[in-house]
Structure 1
Amino acid sequence: MSTDYIYKRGEKFIYRRRVPKYVSNLDHRKEIKLALKTDNYQEAVVRANIYNEQIETFWRALLQSGKSKGSNEKYKTAVQLARAYGFTYKTADQIASSTLNEIVDRLSIDINSQQKADALLGGVQESHLKLSDCTELYWELVHDRLSDKTAFKVTKWKNPRKAAIENFIAVVGNKHLHEIDRKDILDFRGWWNKRIKNGLSADSANKQLRYVKDILQTVSNDNEIDIDFEPLFLRTRFQYKVKSRPPFEVSFVQNTLLRKLDGLNDRDRMVIMALADTGARISEIFGLKSEDIKLNDEVPFIWIRPREGYALKTSSSERKIPLVGSSLYAFTQCPDGFNHVGNPDTFSNMANNYLKNNNLRPTPQHKVYSLRHTFKDRLRDIEAPEEIIDDLMGHKKNGPKYGRGHRLDTKLKWLEKIAFTV
């Protein structure tokens, strides 16, 4: 660096440089002035070189990004800085309408930078975030909720939330986030009310209302948009009765369902057999890896457990299930499991269609998942202890957890009493 930017002011030196034209559209300062805090010229040169390198690095970063700090980032910074000085951020128009005392208090602060002036005197416009911006921002903000999910589960988790925001936009328009009010929420609820009258479920409506609320509140909080969405969504939930999926009769599974699976390929037939005598969720069966299938142990079993990139529905879902009857047969035929082929939703849709097309549904409400309900009923019918049932089902137990849980041979004793004959 030349010494062109070093000037003496009084007894000490300063660094002074005009912002060059090639970056003036990004750095809006006319000139940069920095005190070098020394009266020694050689020392001033060293310090000026350090400052100059930092400034030029900043300019290079601006040019590389192609823009200065975005308007939403400026707004966030202004809100945070105003709060640090004990004020709520207000735009210039809002400040003009404030009390004289507040205006005087704001002006009494030593405003020695443009950033501070923006924060205290309302120099930044309110956030311009639109509803259509929210989902992508939301994914980044809830990364912790997705970090232990497979790619398939991430997509499955994102899709209904994305659909909820898209429906909300279709009803209220692609408004700025700070413009959302109670009327918008009620309009969205009214739109869903009409759909419920036409046969869609109230449960689906409640989920979409919940997703929209969570997304808007999360993004607003991160972007310093001062809106509490809790009262906006107050009393918007639809009432409905939870419909429990019906179980199959045990005799129907043994004598009919398991004997009429020949129209399926070997893999799909084995999945249904595995479900029948484990009571596991479909996603849990597909989530097993070969190391989770213990066929050579004294008590053969499967170990349903989380791992990196794969989460269970709840923490209580982790469990070991002894293999008996149809499940032992299924895993003997498929010792590596089903993790490497297909996905749970594709299988579920296919299997339910198979049951429907082959008259294997006692009622339209019966699904493959009904096998899990049947499994629980079978354990109740033999008067298995509730703790054993909860352990095998992966249900949360009431009260604190003590001890290591039931031994495999204890669980095996009860499962052998209900095992299907293959």
Structure 2
Amino acid sequence: MIGDKPIDQITGEDMLDFRNWWVERLEVEKLTPNSANKDLIHLGDVLKTVNRMKRLGTVLPLRDLALKDIEAKTRPPFSREWITGKLLAPGALNGLNAEARTILLVMINTGCRPSELAALSGNTIHLEADVPYISIEPEGRQMKSAYARRTIPLRGVSLDAIRAYPEGFPRYRGSSAGLSATVNKYLRENELMETSDHVLYSLRHSFEDRMLAAGIDDRVRRDLFGHRLTREKYGEGASLKQKQAMLQAAAL
């Protein structure tokens, strides 16, 4: 997740990035917080042992990392009506910093994970193509799985928003740890969460619901989401132009 670093250069942001990676993995793989907590405990034991035995005297950023059961539950999707009537209402997101606001808007019609959008760069944002799209690539980071590498057409508010950031989001590229927290805090404080169980990640669930309502084939939905196909995979799948046409009814 972070790459090789000297032990005394591991930061709180690094640990939060690793923790956030686990939060998303719990939902994708239907795991319990116990899986993440054991990993965090073992990693912490390694770091503390080296720190002690080598007499480094380093203050390790290992506090308050354990996950709670609530962080593993499936989040409800935002309804189409809530997104269009609340989140996309004029001025509703003006108080959110510009990069976080743009990532939220791009997430609406792509269903990407926040960390995937934070990692975008000029090499993976393709606005001049016949079909504008983003590509999720292992550029400077480790992919969540072999299936996460994919291309997604840009439509509607997502295409309009990302035009202001053709080179990506430098504020969050090095560390996406604070992105979800920033957005969730803003949405809650401004009564823009549909329920108390909703979070930024709920936009990913909403995108899948809208694709399902639009009758988009399961193979295409899985390819757009970066999910494993539950049968043998044949062919290259839908082209960008085909995906763009299919997403017409799902885009906002």
Q: TM-score if structure 1 supplies the norm length?
A: 0.45
Q: Which residue of 2 aligns with 1:335?
A: 166
1:246 maps to amino acid: P
Shift of 1:346: 1.1
* Residues 5-84 of structure 1 aligned to structure 2 (within 5 Å): none
Q: Does 1:253 pair with 2:83?
A: yes
Q: 2:75 is paired with a residue of what secondary structure? A: coil
Taking a change above 3 Å as real, the CA distance of residues 215 and 356 of structure 1, as seen in their structure-2 partners, is closer
Q: Does 1:266 pair with 2:95?
A: no
Q: Does 1:318 pair with 2:177?
A: no
Pair member with larger Rg: 1
Q: 1:256 is paired with a residue of what secondary structure? A: helix
Shift of 1:214: 8.0
Moved over 4 A (4+): 145-149, 151-154, 157-160, 210-217
Q: 2:78 is paired with a residue of what secondary structure? A: coil
Q: 1:371 is paired with a residue of what secondary structure? A: helix
1:257 maps to amino acid: L
* Residues 6-405 of structure 1 aligned to structure 2 (within 5 Å): 147=3, 155-156=14-15, 203-212=32-41, 243-259=73-89, 260-307=92-139, 309-338=140-169, 340-342=170-172, 343-405=175-237
Determine if contact 2:151/2:224 at 8 Å carries over to the other structure: yes
Determine if contact 2:100/2:179 at 8 Å carries over to the other structure: yes
Q: 1:96-116 deviations in whole A, cap 9, x for unaligned? A: xxxxxxxxxxxxxxxxxxxxx
Work out which structure has the larger RCO, using CA pairs closer than 8 Å and 6 or more positions apart in sequence. 2
Determine if contact 2:76/2:202 at 8 Å carries over to the other structure: yes
Shift of 1:265: 3.0
Size of the aligned set, in residue pairs, is 210
Distance 1:411 1:153 in 2: 40
Q: 1:263-292 deviations in whole A, cap 9, x for unaligned? A: 223322212111111110000001111111
Distance 1:148 1:284 in 2: 21
CA RMSD of aligned residues (A): 2.9
Q: 2:152 is paired with a residue of what secondary structure? A: strand
Distance 1:152 1:298 in 2: 42
1:245 maps to amino acid: R
Q: Which residue of 2 aligns with 1:79?
A: none
Q: 1:321 is paired with a residue of what secondary structure? A: strand
Distance 2:147 2:126 in 1: 21
Shift of 1:211: 4.8
Q: 2:177 is paired with a residue of what secondary structure? A: helix
Taking a change above 3 Å as real, the CA distance of residues 362 and 311 of structure 1, as seen in their structure-2 partners, is same
Determine if contact 1:271/1:285 at 8 Å carries over to the other structure: yes
2:188 maps to amino acid: K
Determine if contact 1:355/1:361 at 8 Å carries over to the other structure: yes
Q: TM-score if structure 2 supplies the norm length?
A: 0.74
Q: Which runs of 5+ in 2 are unaligned?
A: 20-30, 47-68
Q: 1:21-80 deviations in whole A, cap 9, x for unaligned? A: xxxxxxxxxxxxxxxxxxxxxxxxxxxxxxxxxxxxxxxxxxxxxxxxxxxxxxxxxxxx
Distance 1:354 1:347 in 2: 11
Q: 1:291 is paired with a residue of what secondary structure? A: coil
Shift of 1:354: 0.6
Q: Percent same amino acid among aligned pairs?
A: 32
Q: Which runs of 5+ in 1 are unaligned?
A: 1-144, 161-201, 218-239
